[in-house]
Structure 1
């Protein structure tokens, strides 16, 4: 990817791109990123190069044949994530073909601010949103200014209804239970030419969702799921206030799956306290021993 972008910047010719689609992981951290605000030791470790900084969770989807690139989530790290996404198509500086939003928590939509007049001054970037999410953006400043000035063009989504981005790239949102203070919350099914991915960065306990997680894993090729916290007691507050499935719970739920099914699962959306962020942690080694994956920034998965 970096070779193609550098060639484009220098005006050099490269062989034609293969006719492929790919999913690119652009960030893996919970909404507040890593290091997280107030975590002095994490900042020191990052400054010393002892731990890697982690961008907020986001995906990119690229269709090289169609010349399209989509962002899933608009995070506070959007400028750097868009740069990384542009590398995939050798299109320096250009805005995404469209942006899909899961819900109205800070790490998932506030990057839209970079499309406004203070930054890129974008023109009608399509933003795909569920009804409550679209109403939230329309009715509340400063997001309403993006709508009024047509920096963004809201595109409606409906739960369970698939939309075609081109003849061989489709997206279907589906509702998941979460803390829906301002908007509903969805996951996305992303279907490419050959593969299907599920993206569920935020959800409450799996037991609150009427869908059977092991069963939907069998119907997909990649399943990127909420791994905010590894275990109970990880943060010094009542964790019922922020109900996510603990990774320990998810591992128990999926332990009976065959190895080929476990290999489809990529844990993502890590709080700064989650030991899976540490490549050397026993928890990460155990998870990988069991055949699961820890999502990492820059990973490319063919669609």
Structure 2
């Protein structure tokens, strides 16, 4: 099974269009050009031909251009993206659906019933798509059972509910329930190898230990280095945890947890433009290298 990281940045990408933080300035000036990143998304395939897009970021057009495996290879109007899975209804993860509206056929979309409701009400992308290609929505379970999308042979998904709030525009914003935000256990049914993917992870509850311990590859939230990073660097008003992201450093942080999972390959995704690990020469990047924790990049390939 093949996994391609299409976008490794948090919302806004790196550099972010309106951010003048030190690292964004350096990226524009040329020193960190190799660290430029698009917004969070991956693609998965069991056969290298039919691909499942997991999250449709606002950068999907550029991501398709940058990844030839997603280029049209059949008829004049065609796509190697066979289906789409959404982990939540956040703008950063669903706006790309609008960029795919020229599809010849209705978009096959897998998501939870909570996400589908958000995308028909608070942010009605699915209703907008009715005027273009349309969509075919299949519900993802949140009871621990698995699904194998028919459009993508050789890929099995187990949705795992995460502790998080729905987006501000969601009718569920103040009444969170399982299904507002999920992680995905992605399994190769032929050999049993597994990856756990959770770009938004604010809390590692007891129920996650099983899924993380069974994974051969862990791809998890690397948004910020410290909890107060956004406030210090760009004057944000919320901490990382208040925004639904577990910081890397400090007691109870992501590094502490990943250090207890030495058997798995550990990869950080969803990296914010304020995070010092975007600088390969930083002490923070050196610390990750010592711990054998990888920093994802756009175009990274993972084989299972």
Give the TM-score, by structure 1 length.
0.82
Which structure has greater helix proportion?
1
Query: Which residue number corresponds to residue 10 of structure 1?
Result: none
Cα deviations by residue, 1:55-94 (Å, 9 ceiling, x for unpaired): 01111112336x3111111001101222344426873862
Distance 2:67 2:45 in 1: 8
- How far, CA to CA, are the matches of 1:88 and 1:78 in structure 2? 10
SS in 2 for 1:247: coil
2:160 is aligned to 174
- The Cα offsets for residues 121-162 of structure 1, whole Å up to 9 and x where unpaired, read as 542120111101112222344541214544322121111221
From the superposition, tell whether residues 44 and 190 of structure 1 become closer, same or farther in structure 2 (CA, over 3 Å): same
1:103 aligned residue:
88
For the residues of structure 1 that align with 2:125 and 2:259, how far apart are their CA atoms?
45
Aligned mates of 2:72, 2:105 — CA distance in 1 = 21
Match of 1:61 among 35, 44, 55: 44
Taking the TM superposition and a 5 Å limit, the aligned residue runs for 1:209-220 are 209-213=205-209, 215-220=210-215
Work out whether 1:78 is the aligned partner of 2:82.
no
Counting matched residue pairs gives: 273
RMSD (Å), alpha carbons: 2.3
The CA deviation string for residues 251-280 of structure 1, in whole angstroms up to 9 with x for no partner, is 1233344x433xx11111111111122222
Q: Distance in 2 between matches of 1:149 and 1:88?
A: 21
Give the Cα–Cα distance (whole angstroms) in 2 for the partners of residues 99 and 212 of structure 1. Answer: 24
State the match for 1:26 in structure 2. Answer: 6
SS at match of 2:81: coil
Cα distance in 2 for partners of 1:157, 1:142 equals: 18
Aligned to 2:114: 132
2:201 is paired with a residue whose SS is coil
Contact 1:64 1:89 (C-alpha < 8 Å) held by counterparts: no
Moved more, 27-36 or 48-57: 48-57
CA distance in 2, matches of 1:44, 1:277: 12
Matched, 1:283 2:284: yes
Q: Does structure 2 conserve the Cα–Cα contact (< 8 Å) formed by 1:25 and 1:58?
A: yes
Give how far 1:218 is off.
2.9
How far the C-alpha of 1:292 sits from its partner, in A, is 1.4
Following TM superposition, by how much is the alpha carbon of 1:188 offset from its aligned partner in structure 2, in angstroms? 0.7
Counterpart Cα distance in 1 of 2:227 and 2:155: 39
1:216 CA drift (Å): 3.3
CA distance in 2, matches of 1:133, 1:280: 40
User: 2:100 matched to which residue of 1?
Assistant: 115
| 8 Å contact kept, 2:185–2:211 | no
Partners of 2:208 and 2:98 lie apart in 1 by 36
Q: Which deviations, in whole Å up to 9, do the C-alpha atoms of 1:2-40 show, x marking residues without a partner?
A: xxxxxxxxxxxxxxxxxxx31011111112211123213
What are the ranges of 5 or more consecutive residues in structure 1 without an aligned counterpart? Answer: 1-20
Tell whether the 8 Å contact from 1:36 to 1:42 is kept in structure 2 after alignment.
no
Query: Any unmatched runs of 5+ in structure 2?
Result: 173-179, 232-236
CA displacement 1:146-179 (0-9 Å, x = unmatched): 1454432212111122111356321111110112
